[in-house]
């Protein structure tokens, strides 16, 4: 029998990090739709993220993306975050939006371009020193579009050399999180396309180099929870970029497209000891709210993650292990499905009440009038976006 008090306690200490860029305008190559009240500055992005934490209680940090969130004084930005009741979290580098990076950044054939890219990564570590961030997250758009365009082997040499220089620069309390992605924007080869490539590079660097699993970065049909189990077992799972997709890297709300997959992933996290705070797993969202309102989109996403986590925490591990050992295929599957088929919304409403929060974060946010207030106040200036 699962200990409900322990499940509630575990849910109260959940921590989900929000992406600053989810609060800015985003879209596709076809259109980026502007929305009223969208932040114009990293400060306003933090203000909006703080609303998500205010109503969910489990989103106390915000990942930044440099230069999208570049400011003159990062110490002051971190202070502003604290004033809003949140903290600056993971620092994301960006070596995918400069004309120089057409043929790659750290994997580019031209050493001058590689130098420029590595210097940006090192500058992001300086930002971490100012904001007190633990993690540097690296995703590389690097790849090729046609066979023969470049040496796949030489590009790996360049990647390893760049990562080694950045890893060397990190402080002892800082970590490098390497994110892989199957394809896009490159359409023939991607230099960090899968968990194996990311893991091999992290093992070569050192124990503070860990792999990030972005749930939108796999080939259709990939058993992502298997990858999670493997990385946890290897002690190299650094974190997640949570989102969901029907087709490619759609960056939809986590749990929206495939809540059962999210449950299976969180089941492996819980069973693999990754949910314990001391495991140091960074649970981050990485999403784009192209057509839906952004703050409610983030609140709904956090709630989806809470629901998948609650169901995973309700799995009767003893019954499951007994059925598995007995080779009771249907019995074991039933233990898992019983947890998944449990309506955990009343449990989460109770947890929120016990945290002093409104049991219905979406309704509470709507009643707050925040959206109307910022839409009225944020007139003029340039709305934030990806600047792509």
Query: Which pair of tokens denotes residue 7?
Result: 């499940």
**Minimum distance of ligand LRH from residue 21's CB (angstroms):** 6
Q: Cα-atom radius of gyration of the chain, to the nearest Å?
A: 21
Nearest by Cα to 20 from 176, 119, 142, 127: 127
Among ligand LRH, Mn ion, none, what binds residue 191 when CB lies within 5 to 8 Å by partner kind? none
Is residue 17 involved in binding ligand LRH (CB under 6 A)?
no
Q: How far apart are alpha carbons 170 and 164 in whole angstroms?
A: 10
Residue 213 bridge partners (DSSP): 240
Residue with Cβ nearer Mn ion (48 or 241): 241
Cβ-count burial 252-275 (b if 16+ within 10 Å, e if not): bbbbbbbbebbbbbbbbbbbbebb
Contact predicate 293/35, CB 8 Å: yes
Determine, following the binding rule CB under 6 A, whether residue 142 of this chain makes contact with ligand LRH.
Answer: no
> First and final CA of the chain: distance in angstroms?
52
- Of 62-121, binders to ligand LRH (CB under 6 A) are 92
C-alpha 40/C-alpha 381 separation (Å) is 6
Of 135, 150, 179, 191, the residue at the interface with ligand LRH (CB under 6 A) is 179
For the CB of residue 188, give the shortest distance to ligand LRH in the complex, in Å. 17
Binding mask 19-48 for ligand LRH (x = CB under 6 A): --x---------------------------
* Residue 288: CB minimum distance to ligand LRH, A: 8
142 versus 150: smaller Cβ distance to Mn ion: 142
150 binds, among ligand LRH, Mn ion, none (CB under 5 to 8 A by kind): none
Contact call for residues 38 and 292 (beta carbons, < 8 A):
no
Judged by CB under 6 A, the residue of 286, 289, 336, 371 near ligand LRH is 286
Per 3-state DSSP, the chain is made up of helix, strand and coil in percentages (nearest 5) of 45, 10, 40
Size of the site for ligand LRH (CB under 6 A): 9
Residues that bind Mn ion (CB under 5 A): 214, 241, 286
Among 225, 241, 268, 307, binds ligand LRH (CB under 6 A): 241
Q: Which does 249 bind (CB under 5 to 8 A by kind): Mn ion, ligand LRH, none?
A: ligand LRH
By Cβ distance, which residue is nearest to ligand LRH?
139
Residue 214 engages ligand LRH in binding (rule: CB under 6 A)? yes
List CB contacts of 95: < 8 A, sequence separation 6 or more: 101, 105, 106, 117, 120, 121, 140, 141
- Residues in touch with ligand LRH (CB under 6 A): 21, 92, 139, 179, 181, 214, 241, 249, 286
């Amino acid at each position: 029998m699962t200990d409900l008090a322990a499940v509630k306690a575990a849910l109260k200490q959940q921590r989900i990090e929000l992406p600053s860029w989810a609060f800015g305008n985003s879209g596709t190559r076809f259109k980026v739709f502007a929305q009223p009240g969208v932040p114009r500055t990293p400060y306003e992005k933090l203000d909006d993220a703080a609303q998500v934490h205010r109503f969910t209680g489990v989103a106390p940090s915000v990942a930044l993306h440099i230069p999208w969130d570049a400011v003159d004084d990062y110490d002051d930005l971190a202070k502003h975050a604290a004033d809003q009741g949140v903290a600056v979290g993971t620092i994301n580098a960006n070596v995918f939006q400069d004309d120089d990076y057409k043929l790659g950044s750290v994997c580019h054939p031209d050493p001058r371009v590689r130098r420029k890219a590595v210097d940006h990564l090192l500058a992001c570590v300086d930002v971490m020193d100012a904001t007190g961030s633990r993690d540097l997250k690296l995703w590389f758009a690097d790849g090729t579009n046609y066979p023969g365009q470049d040496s796949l082997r030489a590009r790996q040499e360049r990647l390893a050399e760049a990562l080694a220089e950045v890893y060397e620069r990190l402080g002892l309390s800082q970590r490098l999180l390497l994110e892989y992605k199957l394809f896009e924007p490159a359409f023939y080869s991607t230099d960090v396309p899968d968990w194996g490539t990311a893991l091999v590079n992290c093992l070569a660097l050192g124990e503070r180099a860990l792999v990030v699993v972005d749930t939108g970065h796999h080939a259709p049909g990939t058993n992502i929870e298997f990858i999670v189990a493997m990385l946890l077992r290897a002690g190299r799972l650094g974190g997640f970029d949570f989102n969901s997709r029907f087709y490619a890297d759609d960056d939809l709300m986590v749990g929206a497209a495939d809540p059962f997959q999210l449950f299976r992933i969180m089941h492996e996290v819980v069973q693999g000891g990754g949910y314990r705070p001391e495991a140091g797993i960074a649970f981050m969202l990485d999403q784009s709210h192209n057509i839906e309102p952004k703050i409610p989109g983030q609140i709904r996403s956090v709630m989806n993650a809470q629901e998948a986590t609650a169901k995973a925490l309700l799995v009767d591990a003893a019954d499951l292990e007994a059925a598995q050992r007995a080779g009771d295929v249907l019995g074991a599957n039933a233990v898992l499905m019983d947890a998944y088929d449990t309506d955990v919304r009343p449990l989460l409403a109770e947890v929120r009440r016990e945290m002093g929060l409104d049991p219905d974060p979406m309704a509470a946010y709507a009643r707050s009038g925040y959206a109307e207030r910022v839409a009225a106040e944020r007139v003029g200036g340039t709305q934030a976006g990806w600047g792509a």
